Amino acid sequence: MLNFIKSDIEIIKERDPAARGLLEIWLCYPGFQAIFIHRITHKLWRLKLPLIPRVISQINRALTGIEIHPGAKIGKKVFIDHGMGVVIGETAEIGNNCLLYQGVTLGGTGKSHGKRHPTLKENVVVGAGAKVLGSITVGANTRIGAGSVVVRSVAGNSTVVGVPGRVVHQSGVKINPLAHSALPDAEANVIRNLMDRIDQLENQISKLQNIVRSIAKDEVIDVSKLGDAQNLRDKEIIEFLGDDES
């Protein structure tokens, strides 16, 4: 228990430049307070004590604004930054070194009594307001962008954005968990790509109009100036919209 508490304090010092001392972390960090109380309720939950862990977890919610079911499993060095509105369900599992921002939901789907909440592997970052729903697995070193809704399992070393969440980047490169400005803008990339397509089509139409005029005047047509047709099944567009055929 002491090792877990020590690791929880260490990760706050490491990732939050505003953390200036041990006393400040104990008194002013609801994310740390919520996890500290949860570690107690989780032990009581494993002892199968009736009602008491749930009551304490509700007090925890009232004090911190963070709702963690006593049955949830939380690893070492988990940091809930600010944390207001965070909800973590009963069968959720959070690996070591994960970072959750305010408004995150690790929620369940359906009414089954088995595993119905997500599992986050190590070093996962979940942005503000993101929802991760169902019995899915989010691989290690994955970043989920703010406001995303993830309903399918995600491989490790990925970046997920959008509603529903889509993998827009995947690599083995180590990333800074606080570098939210580095998240790619999938919608902007697709719009830019479509604008390029429109420009190409307008050029093609202009060339075809010139060809029609040349035919009308019985002039020789230079076929080499027609250009190549563009394939609308562009990689970025398919990744954003989803390829139902695969």
CA distance 73 to 149: 21
The whole-chain average pLDDT of the chain stands at 82
pLDDT digits (tens, 9 = 90+) for 59-83: 999 999 999 999 999 999 999 988 8
Encode pLDDT of 159-206 as tens digits. Answer: 888 887 777 766 655 555 555 555 565 666 677 777 777 878 888 888
For 70, 209, 224, 225, the CA distances from 216, given in Å and listed in that order, are 80, 11, 19, 18
What is the C-alpha separation between 73 and 76, in angstroms, rounded?
Answer: 10
pLDDT exceeding 90 applies to what percent of the chain? 40
pLDDT at residue 13 tops 60: yes
Where are the chain's structural domains?
2-182, 186-241
Strand partners, 87: 67, 105
CATH assignment of 2-182, given 2.160.10.10, 3.30.43.10, 3.40.309.10, 3.90.1150.10? 2.160.10.10
- CA–CA gap between residue 97 and residue 199 (Å, rounded): 46
pLDDT of 224 strictly over 90? no
- pTM for the full model? 0.70
